[in-house]
Amino acid sequence: MASETPQNGAASETASPVVSFVAFKPQLFVEAPKANDAVVFYKNAFAAEEVSRSLNAKRKADQELPLVLSAELKIAGASFLVADAVDDSAKLVKSGGNGVVFCLESENIEAAIAKAVSAGAVAEGEVAECEGACGGGRVGKVTDPYGYVWQFCTPAKKAVGDVEA
């Protein structure tokens, strides 16, 4: 009930900065390298429209197709992301849980995480630069009290290509 009320603590951190989100997008991880197939399926099955796609530049062998870091699709005006599961997300998908993460785009990731944690979420790891995920930029994660993972990231850049190198 008091989650909006700043506590009188020793730290002089900003009291409850306003956090706003510019997008909410479920991200569906699929066993790598099936994300491309999944995108084709969602187009055929649900007439999803592909908005953008970012690929992982690294691949294990030259003949392999690059993995899909994130493909953004739209149905009925709502966006969702499809991604090849690697690392942690691969464990989630392989364990039979489904690999859905909810992405929230915000200009102020630290404040968004702090607010979620004060409401009862558990922060997972540190905020880090994370190429491609959710449109790229800085990314942080929390798990909510009901087991769902929420990923905060800086807003997706419009497709202008990579500015650096």
List, in order, residues 6 or more apart from 10 with CB less than 8 Å away. Answer: none
Q: Judged by CB under 8 A, which of 145, 160, 161, 163 binds a copy of itself? A: 145
Cα 114 to chain center, whole Å? Answer: 17
- Does 7 bind a copy of itself (CB under 8 A)? Our answer is no
Q: Give the bridge partners for 129, in sequence order.
A: 138
CA dist 131 and 133 (Å) reads: 6
- Does 20 bind a copy of itself (CB under 8 A)? Our answer is yes
Q: Judged by CB under 8 A, which of 36, 38, 69, 111 binds a copy of itself? A: 38
CA distances from 154 to 71, 97, 117, 130 (A): 16, 27, 18, 10
Q: Judged by CB under 8 A, which of 71, 81, 83, 104 binds a copy of itself? A: 104
Where along the sequence are the contacts to a copy of itself (CB under 8 A)?
3-4, 19-26, 28, 30-31, 34, 37-38, 41-42, 44-47, 75-80, 93, 95-98, 100, 102, 104-105, 112, 115-116, 119-121, 144-148, 150
